[in-house]
């Protein structure tokens, strides 16, 4: 029957008893499956993890700057891994790093939740924040430069109706010429 219809006989379910076969155009079937997979990949979102590194003795202004970066990353929908790096004797004051991470988590509680609580990993202490869905702002779609709207150009009629200057254009004085004195 498949040969008469100029189609393919495709085994759909080999495990069934008896096996299930279907008469179809196999090339068209493979194409449709590829299109479905492509659509599924398009709808799938990539999870991006950004990292922000700090020291336990970070200055107030530096902390605010880094916190601003963390907020920006979270609003873009990325997870943020915060790493506190300890050196030398700072290792005996791990509580400073814990306080810093707790302070940051409290500062961004309205836009993020703690996904991985602070833990020590060698000389570093890390914590992972993930954005709340309502805090993520949609990024505008990228528009190539050649497709962006251009600013409005001045119409020729408007240029002619511009207010006149004090002197007519042809009677303006040319700027004085500057010449160099030769010799030394």
- 54 with 121, same domain: the answer is yes
- 36 with 81, same domain: the answer is no
Quick one: pLDDT at residue 5? 86
- 60 with 29, same domain: the answer is no
Quick one: pLDDT at residue 15? 85
In a domain, 184, yes or no: no
Range of the domain at 92: 49-135
- Asked if the peptide bond before residue 178 counts as cis, ω within 30 degrees of 0, the response is no
- 70 with 34, same domain: the answer is no
CB atoms within 10 A of CB 68: 10
CATH of the domain at 102: 3.30.110.10
Quick one: pLDDT at residue 143? 64
- 53 with 38, same domain: the answer is no
| Global model pTM greater than 0.75 | no
Quick one: pLDDT at residue 140? 56
Long-range contacts of 11-20 (CB under 8 A, 24+ apart): none
| DSSP SS3 for 9 | strand
State the total domains in the chain: 2
In a domain, 86, yes or no: yes
Q: What is the pLDDT along the chain (184 residues), one digit of tens a residue?
A: 888 888 888 888 888 888 888 888 888 989 999 999 998 888 777 778 899 999 999 999 999 999 999 999 888 888 999 999 999 888 888 899 999 999 999 999 998 999 989 999 889 999 999 998 887 776 555 666 777 777 665 555 555 555 555 555 555 666 666 666 665 4
């Amino acid at each position: 029957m498949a040969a008469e219809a100029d189609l393919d006989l495709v085994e759909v379910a080999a495990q069934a008893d008896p096996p299930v076969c279907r008469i179809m155009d196999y090339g068209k079937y493979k194409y449709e499956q590829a299109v479905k997979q492509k659509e599924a990949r398009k709808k799938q979102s990539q999870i991006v993890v950004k990292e922000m590194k700090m020291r336990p003795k970070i200055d107030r202004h530096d902390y605010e700057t880094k916190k601003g970066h963390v907020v920006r990353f979270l609003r873009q929908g990325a997870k943020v891994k915060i790493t506190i790096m300890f050196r030398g004797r700072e290792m005996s004051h791990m509580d400073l790093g814990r306080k810093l991470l707790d302070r940051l988590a409290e500062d961004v509680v309205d836009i993020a939740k703690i996904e991985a609580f602070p833990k020590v990993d060698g000389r570093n202490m890390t914590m992972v924040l993930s954005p709340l869905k309502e805090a993520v702002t949609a990024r505008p779609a990228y528009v190539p430069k050649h497709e962006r709207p251009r600013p409005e150009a001045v119409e020729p009629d408007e240029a002619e109706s511009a207010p006149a200057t004090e002197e007519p254009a042809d009677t303006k004085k040319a700027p004085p010429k500057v010449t160099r004195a030769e010799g030394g």
